[in-house]
Structure 1
Amino acid sequence: MNSKNNIFLIIFCLFSFIILNNWKKIHNYTKNNIIKKIISNSVFLEKKPKNIIKNIKKDTILVKTDKFYISINNNGGIEQVKLLNFFEKLHNKKFFTLLRKKSNFVYQVNNGIIKNERNYDVDFYKNNKFFTYSKFFILKKNQTKLKIPFFFIKNNILYIKTFIFTKGSYLIKINHSLFNLCNKPISLGFFSEINKSSITPQKYLNKKHNNMTIKTFDGVAFSTNKINFKKYKFSDILKKKNIHLNDYTRWIAMLQQYFTAVWILPHFSEKNTIYINKKNTNIISIGFKSPYYLILPGQKHNFKSQLWIGPKIPKIMSKISPFLDLTIDYGILGFLSKLLFQLLNFIFSIVNNWGLSIIIITLIIRILLYPLSEKQYITIAKMNFLQPEIQKMKEKYGNNKEIFSKKIISLYKENNINPFSGFFIFIIQMPIFLALYYMLINSIELRHAKFLFWIQDLSSEDPYYILPIFMSLTMIVIQYLSQNKYENNNSIQSKFIYIIPFVFSFFFLWLPSGLVLYYIINNIFTILQQKWIMYKMNNKNYKNI
């Protein structure tokens, strides 16, 4: 029995010696196989693409898809993004740069692994620099996906960060895989972050801002299980203390006019810590951190996230994550702006011209409001017809205001006149006007949208101010038609009403030309409507109208 035990002990010791002696070779073989397998599934370039990002650093990886030129540094962070379907300014052929890093302006995104300082400190995440097998990558025409893995190995821990680009999409998938090939457990977490300067230099803005227009929203936003949508202005963040909350995170975003950068969690399954704070003097940061995960020896752990970098497209963004379409700032009348945009978009799908679509939607609105506006103009016309009688009452009862007021009210009732009916159409029109304004300045579809001749951007002001001038002329015609022919037309009051259109049009000089176009069509419709009502009243007894 003892001899058998001795033989078993000898065999066990021999087997252990062989395992220990070859452990390093097996260990290295496992790591090499993992890397080789990932590399074999990827495509890369041998030469630098033409016209790609200029003045690029030596330690930067360049990526080109049908939507992006992207620069990724050797820490795995995206440094610069150019959008190939958008230009910086009208008549400027430079691609629009969304993310950048300059001495006077920073707009950056990054995500990766963070270690737990309290437990299992393996000195993993200090001075890590990724390596990859090429400096230049391109999504070819016959490809639908491009996978780019970045590798980092330290202390027998293999970290692979893989960027996955899809043809025709602004959504980038980023997968993190951690392989614990050492002999002790590690505790690591995951973070995503967006940093942006609170003040954007004028040359990086989409267009010039002036004091006569409402400025678009600049700030951060997030969505969680308890809070569907919450946003903070940069000015509020600079004043307040740091913001922290713990909840099931859907997404975090940096907001600006037309474009956005959003980190999205594909799995809404665990609580994360969202933080918003100020870095340095003027850099605003929003990010989230996951819980720490214990990775035992020989095991691996995957972290998945998605990054949207590009235009705010409501139809697509609403499908990616709940409430993501709310990143489009439609103002306090958002529900009405969305409704108008859906109708405008439907009309555009038929006529294929945004300017013509605005004209059609204006006519639709006026036709729907015709019964109310007709009452308004009939009331004005009746009051003009009654001016001789009102003047007689004023001469007779002018000294007694109480009797004069009763006589006027009685006269209005007799002729079925409601003097306040004119305010109803104004009250209804103002929300439509404001909703249309917010829609025009925040819908990416209308950015640099052409109409006719000199109007090359319906979301921006008329460069020659022809539309505002024409609008003031239509307002003068309306004032002329509304003028009481029974009053003294040489009075100061009668002349003053012709000055109002010029003053009013002054505020329209810097408004979007699409909005001015709406107002012009609206005024033309009003002129025709007034002419029609006057025609009916001249051919019928005005009391019966």
Structure 2
Amino acid sequence: MESQKSFLLIGLALVSYLLWEQWQLDHAPKPVATPAQIEQTAAGVQPNNSSANSDVPISEQAASFANTSTQSNIEVTTDAIKTKINLLGGDLIDLKLLNYAKEKNGDEPYSLLSSAGGQLFHAQSGLTGTDGPDASRSGRPLYSAAQTSYQMTGDTLSVPLTYLSPNGLTVTKTFVFTKGEHIVKVNFDIKNNADSVKNVQLFAQLKQHTGQSNSSMMMPTYHGAAYSTNEEKYEKVTFDDIADKNINIHSTGGWVAMIEHYFVTAFIPTKDEQIDISTKSLSGGLALIRYKGEAVNVAPGETVNLSTTLYSGPKDQDRLSELAESLDLTVDYGILFFISKPLFHLLQFLHGLVANWGVAIILITILVKGCMYSLTKKQYTSMAKLRQLQPKLTELKSRYGDDRQKFSQAMMELYKKEKVNPMGGCLPILVQMPIFLSLYWVFVESVELRHAEFALWIHDLSQQDPYYVLPILMGISMFVMQKLQPTPVQDPVQQKIFQYMPIAFTFFFLWFPAGLVLYWLVSNIISIIQMLMINKSIQKQGLGAKK
């Protein structure tokens, strides 16, 4: 197997995988929600015949308030986020990332949480249990706040909401925001004013409409739920999985999350807290993932504090790893994460030197290809030696005819005599392939490349080349590589396939993000230079390919 042939087969396998992934996305059954259902869901209401949200019941009266009252929401603005909190239940129903634009050079910030119909995504938390206000048959608690809007002026901002329940509990739900952070600390102070013990249980859940995926064949990204337990460090649960079957898992610590391409929203309990993680499929095309903490008894006159942490922001690996164990795995490099992570840190280091992600991509490609040069040279030399033996192998085949056993024995003796390893051309490519694939996922998953400029007409490495210059240059480089490395394929049909491969890849790469195409183009150019050097060395050894 020649280097060029192996490279093309790897690329073909990758494109086939992406096509299969997109087929799965396109043909998976999608729940259809009526406008009325979406409106009800945005207010937190479930149909009368549904118990899908029975842990957080809402009465018709409460739902009416959520739909009609202009005072039901309060706004909170920090230097990093702008969010809305619904006083009915105290849920975050809208959250915008002020430092991340929705579009390149746009003024509109990227929205993670939203109440906009098919874009619905809420972060809900509250108290159930025997006596929790969210378990009341009269509906979710209607909190009160001292202001309708809050603006951060210092390093932290606390937004307290209060609720006095009919059974004698005074609940203060406080949202704590920190300067420069996408973290929201949610604290519950529960005071028992009654003369009997009260039982409460904290829950935190993420509810999202399932029709929001922006994944495509050229950018196959995951959009769905995920969780972590003390046994499973990172487990994805697709919306289809949630629709098919609800999960119920007990864990010591962990987290629950909703993931999209460059961003993640996660509820994180305290590290050693005993929690129960579950999922539910809701009416109106919604999916929910939640965790519930331990039930807590509050004695008469006693005040108990319960808390959870919400992160809603970019998939910043360093920050996520600080917040919770394995939360950084939401930057999903797949099974090759142990290779991708060091490569990402190397890419970060190079960016720190040159302050340009495009230049950093070029430098890391040069470094990786340079480190693998010795393997590439061994591969080419081994293939050259095998080509030199072709006449002798042809002679052996004619001598032994259809006797495969004798032919195989004679062939192995020839390899041993000539000191040729028939696997010498395959083993190096097996080492290189995981590295190339790891780099691919680094470029796909890294939020740092989102809206990152390179040079000239490339103003966003996460989007396709607007003038298709890079894909065309990449196709030309593949054509040059084919000419420099003749293939041993004799079958006319296979020869035609390999001849048209550069054209096919150019077509596919037209829609690839510019950062990925830049990586492949630079890799091809370096391969061409290496081919010229190695071919010159091979010619000196008298192993040149026979034209």
Alpha-carbon displacement from aligned partner over 1:514-539 (angstroms, at most 9, x marks no partner): 22222222221221122122323444
Among 72, 77, 100, the alignment partner of 1:64 is 77
Among 227, 236, 240, the alignment partner of 1:235 is 240
Alpha-carbon displacement from aligned partner over 1:124-180 (angstroms, at most 9, x marks no partner): 97453111111111112xx11111111122445321111111111111111111222
Among 224, 228, 231, the alignment partner of 2:229 is 224
Alpha-carbon displacement from aligned partner over 1:304-362 (angstroms, at most 9, x marks no partner): 11111111111111111112112221122221211211211121121211111111111
Aligned pair in 2 of structure 1 residues 433, 154: CA closer, same or farther (>3 Å)?
same
**Superposed counterparts of 1:132-281, under 5 Å:** 132-140=145-153, 143-155=154-166, 156-200=168-212, 205=214, 209-210=215-216, 212-213=217-218, 215-240=220-245, 242-269=246-273, 271-281=274-284
Alpha-carbon displacement from aligned partner over 1:69-94 (angstroms, at most 9, x marks no partner): 10111121111000011111334331
Shift of 1:107: 0.6
CA contact (8 A) 2:396 2:411 kept: no
Partner AA of 1:88 in structure 2: K
In the other structure, the counterpart of 1:294 is 297
In the other structure, the counterpart of 2:456 is 453
CA contact (8 A) 2:279 2:288 kept: yes
With structure 2 as the length reference, what TM-score do the two structures score?
0.78
Residue aligned with 2:228, SS: strand
- Unaligned residue ranges in structure 1 (runs of 5+): 1-55
CA contact (8 A) 1:251 1:265 kept: yes
CA contact (8 A) 2:173 2:186 kept: yes
Shift of 1:440: 1.5
CA contact (8 A) 1:151 1:159 kept: yes
In the other structure, the counterpart of 2:536 is 535
**Superposed counterparts of 1:347-366, under 5 Å:** 347-366=350-369
With structure 1 as the length reference, what TM-score do the two structures score?
0.78
Alpha-carbon displacement from aligned partner over 1:224-271 (angstroms, at most 9, x marks no partner): 33433332111111112x2223332332111221111111112524x2
Alpha-carbon displacement from aligned partner over 1:360-392 (angstroms, at most 9, x marks no partner): 1112211221111102222344455666x5598
Residue aligned with 1:292, SS: strand
Partner AA of 1:194 in structure 2: L
Residue aligned with 2:270, SS: coil
CA contact (8 A) 2:133 2:140 kept: no
1: CA distance, partners of 2:247 / 2:402: 65
Partner AA of 2:354 in structure 1: V
Shift of 1:67: 0.7
2: CA distance, partners of 1:466 / 1:477: 17
Residue aligned with 1:498, SS: helix
Aligned pair in 2 of structure 1 residues 421, 465: CA closer, same or farther (>3 Å)?
farther
Aligned pair in 2 of structure 1 residues 248, 125: CA closer, same or farther (>3 Å)?
farther
**Superposed counterparts of 1:276-425, under 5 Å:** 276-383=279-386, 389=391, 393=395, 415-425=418-428
Aligned pair in 2 of structure 1 residues 243, 497: CA closer, same or farther (>3 Å)?
closer
Residue aligned with 1:308, SS: strand
2: CA distance, partners of 1:255 / 1:478: 39
- Match status 1:469 vs 2:472: yes
In the other structure, the counterpart of 1:39 is none
In the other structure, the counterpart of 2:34 is none
Shift of 1:470: 0.8
CA contact (8 A) 1:112 1:190 kept: yes
CA contact (8 A) 2:118 2:211 kept: no
Shift of 1:292: 2.9
Among 426, 429, 433, the alignment partner of 1:426 is 429
Aligned pair in 2 of structure 1 residues 411, 499: CA closer, same or farther (>3 Å)?
farther
2: CA distance, partners of 1:264 / 1:453: 43
- Unaligned residue ranges in structure 2 (runs of 5+): 1-68
Partner AA of 1:326 in structure 2: L
What value does the CA root-mean-square deviation take over the aligned residues? 3.2
1: CA distance, partners of 2:133 / 2:388: 91
2: CA distance, partners of 1:121 / 1:367: 61
CA contact (8 A) 1:68 1:82 kept: yes
Partner AA of 1:68 in structure 2: I
Residue aligned with 2:466, SS: coil
Among 107, 128, 153, the alignment partner of 2:141 is 128
Identity within the alignment, %: 32
- Match status 1:79 vs 2:93: yes
Name the structure, 1 or 2, with higher relative contact order (CA <8 Å, separation 6+): 2
CA contact (8 A) 1:122 1:186 kept: no
Residue aligned with 1:104, SS: helix
Shift of 1:409: 5.9
Residue aligned with 1:290, SS: strand
Residue aligned with 2:117, SS: coil
Shift of 1:418: 3.4
